[in-house]
Structure formats: structure tokens, C-alpha cells
Amino acid sequence: MSVEKIKVLVVDDSAFMRKMITNILASHFRINVVGTARNGIDALKKIDDLKPDVITLDIEMPEMDGLTTLAKIMKDKPRPVIMLSSLTQEGADKTLESMELGAVDFIAKPSGSISLNIKEKEAEIISKVLQATKAKVDLIKGSADREYVKSVHGKIATGLKKDKHYIIGIGTSTGGPRALQQVVTRLPENIPAPIVIVQHMPAGFTESLAKRLDQLSHVSVCEVKDGEWLKNGTAYIAPGGYQFKVIETTKGLQAKVLKEENRNGHQPSVDVLFESLAELPRHQLLAVIMTGMGADGANGLIEMKKKKQNTIIVSEAEETCIVYGMPKAAEKTNLVDFVVKLPDIADAIVNQLKIRGE
């Protein structure tokens, strides 16, 4: 039986990069590169003729850049788009903007626009193109035009027990930047817990994500640093390329940020963070799993419930997930307490803190 191939259009102003990416993708039996384009204008013409299933799109191009092209694709010809981004600060900021405009995912170029090191990215490029076909583009298209605003509820209800200690853990991957924007911006500034987050991203991009969320949110948001003391009302994002753990000392909760082996192919890994939370003796745990490919986080949830049966687990409902992978794996453990649509997750977190505090 023949396998239906995924049709890909490769868009990059560098002839070298077009050839490298084409060769990498063409090496996989399920992928057919149906064409290449040298800029956005060229790409928009070819989409109608070639009808690609997935597009890889460079951010920096002459005549029409990647962000302008992406906006036009999502408006008129919506389909999964994977951005190629440079490892500069500007590249990271533009990558996050592309996520908001509707890109499914991105690939960080190893070093500049022309790089022989692109071969090192071979597995990631192939994997992300294969994954992109499973993304729900209608959800992405809907969110691209949406204006995210801070919740009007800036304060959490009073009356929580002072002797209760809470910590909120969030894990997400593909589609995560948009999902985090919907959740973190709606949390009240005086939430009585630190929020610890793993978003699968390479080094250099998590800092931009933290700064973006900090501007939009009531709570403070930062990229966590090793040794930092965790405070209520602050969200801490694991830095790309490092594992993030939380330990409890006599002074309070402290972040441990360290280079380790990848777990499930990831660093940071949701499992690593969640397993560390399971070891906190005095804290009530609330864990949230959102959109993402794979199963990272599921083992961490098992450890949490095994060691702390009163752990509350929330997973994002399938109908709002850009990719229903990590939440599906979480639900298969039969340990999830609440399956919640994305716009309601922040309220679910706050409501659980109120209930547990009574």
C-alpha cells in the first residue's frame, strides 16, 4: 500500500538553505518537496499552484519578509507553517510574533542564515514537518486575529488559609506560546502560589517569551535563574537548553537550573520539573498540561499522584489543543482531575485554590 506523501513548500532567500532543507526533507519517505520560493511574493504565487500541506518559511527575506508572508497565508490560504529563525535577540522576538500570527512551530537556524550546521538540525526539521500536519490550523487562524487582554479580575478572592502552601506547575510544547498567553495573562496578581513553567523551546527564545508575557500579565513573569527563591504571584519559565527543578529549604522554595541529559528528547523537560515538585513535602500541587506533541509530563504526573494523592491535575481539552499529544498522554494515565478548554484554564486554577483554601 502506498503512503500518501506530505507536500512541502520551502521558502528561503538563500539558495544554499533552500537546497539544504530540500535535501533533508526529501530524504524522508513520507515527504515530497513540491517546490521552493525565494521570498514571500514568490511563495504566495506558488501556494495556489502547488497546494502544499506544510510550508517552511524563513523570517528574514527581501521584498516580502516572513512575518508579512505568514499573515497573508493565515488570512487567505491557511495551512501549517514552520518558521526558520536566526538565533539573535531580534530573531527570537520575531519568532514569538510569528507564533501569534499563526505559525505552528519554528526551527532555530544553528548560526546565521547560511550554515553548514543545518545538517545537525536534520531530525528536528523532519520531525516538525511531520508533526505540523496534525496541527489544527483552524484554531491557529482563529487566534491570530484575537487581541489578548489582561483579565479584569486583577485580585484573587481573599480567605485562603495562611497555613496552606501552593505551587502551580505548567507544561506545554507545540502551540504553547499562544496557550500560555491565554492562561498566564488571566491569573490574578496576588495568586497565592509561584507558577513554574516548562515550554519546549531552545536557548535564546524563552527569555523573549518571558518578557512578552510579563508585559501582558498581572503576575510577574521571568526566565528563571539558578538559585532563585520562588515567590507567590510570579511565573518562572525554564530557560531553553536547561532542566528546571524546584527544591524546598528552610527558607522556602528554590530554583535549580542545570545542564543534564535530555529527557524524552527535551531540555527543559516537563517530567523533570514535575518529578521535582512531587518531592516538596509541604506544598499543595496543582499541575496543568497543555497543547504539545508527545508525552512529556505524563510520568511526572504519575509521580506527583503517587507521592501526593491530593495533587490536582488539569489537562487542556482536545477541542482547543493545537496538537492533542501531551494532554492525551496525561489523560491516558487516568489521573487527570479536570479536562478544561483553554480559555477556562486560568479560572479553573483560581477556583481550585479557593476550594482548597476553604
Point out the residues that are catalytic. Answer: 173, 200, 296
- The amino acid present at 233, given as its one-letter code, is G
Is the CB of residue 216 less than 8 Å from the CB of residue 232?
A: no
Give CA separation, 52 vs 9, 33, 341, 353, in Å. 6, 9, 30, 46
Buried b (16+ CB within 10 A) or exposed e, 303-314: bbbeebeebbbb
Buried b (16+ CB within 10 A) or exposed e, 156-185: beeebeeeebbbbbbbbbbbbbbbbbbbbb
Give burial (CB, 10 Å; 0-12/13-18/19+) of 219. Answer: buried
Distance between CA atoms of residues 101 and 262, nearest Å? 30
Three-state secondary structure call for residue 162: coil
User: Any alpha helices (H) in the chain, and if so which ranges?
Assistant: 15-26, 40-50, 66-76, 89-101, 122-132, 137-144, 176-184, 206-216, 270-277, 298-307, 326-332, 345-357
Cβ count near 155 (within 10 Å): 10
Break the chain down into helix, strand, coil percent, rounded to 5. 40, 20, 40
Buried b (16+ CB within 10 A) or exposed e, 12-46: bbbeebbebbbebbeebeebebbbbbbbbbbbbeb
Can you say how many angstroms the Cα of residue 27 is from the centroid of all Cα atoms in its chain?
27
Can you say how many angstroms the Cα of residue 317 is from the centroid of all Cα atoms in its chain?
16
Task: Report the phi/psi class of residue 175: left, alpha or beta, with left for phi > 0 and alpha for psi in -120 to 50.
Answer: left
Q: Which three cell numbers stand for residue 175?
A: 502551540
